[in-house]
Amino acid sequence: MRLITICLAALLVLVQYPLWLGRGGWLRVWDFDQQVAEARQKNLELKARNDKLESEVRDLKTGTGAVEERARYELGMIKDNEIFIQVLEPADKTLARQTTSAVPPLR
């Protein structure tokens, strides 16, 4: 009786092995599901980036506003008859407070 029990237990383990650790086992299926979920998330991020780039290309092709904006902010260009004014913030905020407090108010 003991020999039959041991044989049945061994057969049960042999039958369960492919289910859990084999080529199409549960662990491998779970791992593939995780990979698919990660790939879908990455695809969504890339699709959002592509949509943004596509919209930017469309704006650059059809309108001059986007080109003008890029020229102003990225290249520092200005139009004819415009005056460029740059306001610099003081590097040290405490120095700015001391300077402003030392100046008498205008009357």
Residues in Cβ contact with 19 at an 8 Å cutoff, skipping those fewer than 6 apart: 25, 26
Tally DSSP H helices, then E strands, for the chain: 4, 0
Instruction: Note the pLDDT of residue 66.
Output: 77
* 37-83 tens-digit pLDDT: 999 999 999 999 999 999 888 887 887 777 788 888 888 788 888 88
Mean pLDDT in residue range 27-36: 90
Is pLDDT of 101 > 70?
no
Q: What does the alpha-carbon distance between residue 14 and residue 9 come to, in Å, rounded to a whole number?
A: 9
pTM: 0.47
CB 34 within 8 A of CB 42: no
Summary mean pLDDT of the chain: 81
